[in-house]
């Protein structure tokens, strides 16, 4: 199975020209042996039609296919546009947009019904970790979900902080996730860079990369680490 490497650009970049340049540069990276999925903001998805080596994902979708939901983008629209993957339940959606497990579960079901591959993000906050609640959080976030998912273990305190999770601790979480949800695969995310990617790829079948995916040279270095070159 090829390693799954997700580039989550979040709300970057801020212009069509910059997005186009970054999409072309990502396409040119040596990625044989990996399945690379680029998740740009919705407004740049139209620029991804040039991609051949890289698959396309969205960073979110609605829980319904169509209707009176101002500002939403539906999984049906994404599928029709040629999008293959969608990230759901990212901690930034949970914390800044109040998405709870119920909403996230509805989104997951609707995305799966439309034939999208779902990357479901789970992980504990720093406080939950300090209180020894990591296992409970993972149990809760994965309850009621079917096994047809890619689960990204992303400790919230490691996202965008430069404080990546100790690989042994991350592996413990992976084993628990596999036991609870029997997912298609478990990937790791949270301050991944070319120096630590090797620590995670030995026990996870992929990586979810935020900040380091915006720096195309650094992203290329991570791909090299994953490919063992």
The set of catalytic residues is 90, 154
Applying CB under 6 A, the site for ligand PGA has a residue count of 13
Among candidates 37, 52, 54, which has minimal Cα distance to 206?
Answer: 37
Q: Which of residues 173-192 bind ligand PGA (CB under 6 A)?
A: 189-192
- What is the C-alpha to C-alpha distance for residues 5 and 27, in angstroms, rounded to an integer? 13
Nearest approach in angstroms of CB 190 to ligand PGA is: 5
Strands 34-39 and 85-88: unpaired
Contacting residue, 13, 41, 160, 220, with ligand PGA by CB under 6 A: 160
Instruction: Supply the DSSP string of 67-127, one letter for each residue.
Output: SS-TT---HHHHHHTT--EEEES-HHHHHHS---HHHHHHHHHHHHHTTPEEEEEE---HH
Site string for ligand PGA, 130-159 (x = CB under 6 A): ------------------------x----x
Q: How far apart are the first and last CA of the chain?
A: 18
Comparing every residue's Cβ against ligand PGA, the nearest one is 210
Nearer to ligand PGA, 183 or 189 (CB): 189
Segment 44 to 103, residues that bind ligand PGA, using CB under 6 A = none
Half-sphere exposure of 198 (CA within 13 A, CB side): 8
Q: What is the closest distance, in whole angstroms, from the C-beta atom of residue 68 to ligand PGA in the complex?
A: 30
Residue numbers at the binding site for ligand PGA (CB under 6 A): 8, 154, 159-160, 189-192, 208-212
């Amino acid at each position: 199975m090829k390693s799954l490497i997700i580039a989550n650009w979040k709300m970057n970049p801020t212009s069509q020209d910059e997005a186009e340049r970054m999409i072309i540069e990502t396409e040119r990276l040596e990625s044989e042996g990996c399945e690379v999925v680029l998740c740009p903001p919705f407004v740049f998805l139209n620029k991804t039609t040039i991609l051949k080596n890289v698959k396309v994902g969205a960073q979110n979708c609605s829980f319904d296919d169509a209707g009176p939901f101002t500002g939403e983008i539906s999984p049906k629209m994404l599928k029709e546009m040629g999008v293959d993957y969608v990230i759901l339940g990212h901690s930034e959606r949970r914390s800044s947009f109040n998405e709870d497990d119920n909403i996230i579960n509805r989104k997951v079901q609707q995305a799966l019904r439309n034939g999208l591959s779902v990357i479901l993000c789970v992980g504990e906050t720093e406080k939950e970790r300090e209180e020894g609640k990591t296992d409970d959080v993972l149990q809760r976030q994965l309850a009621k979900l079917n096994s047809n998912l890619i689960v990204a273990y992303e400790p919230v305190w490691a996202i965008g902080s430069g404080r990546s999770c100790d690989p042994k601790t991350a592996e413990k979480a992976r084993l628990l996730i596999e036991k609870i949800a029997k997912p298609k695969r478990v990937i790791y995310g949270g301050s991944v860079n070319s120096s630590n990617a090797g620590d995670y790829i030995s026990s996870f079948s992929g990586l979810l990369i935020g900040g380091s995916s915006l720096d195309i040279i650094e992203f290329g270095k991570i791909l090299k680490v994953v490919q063992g070159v």
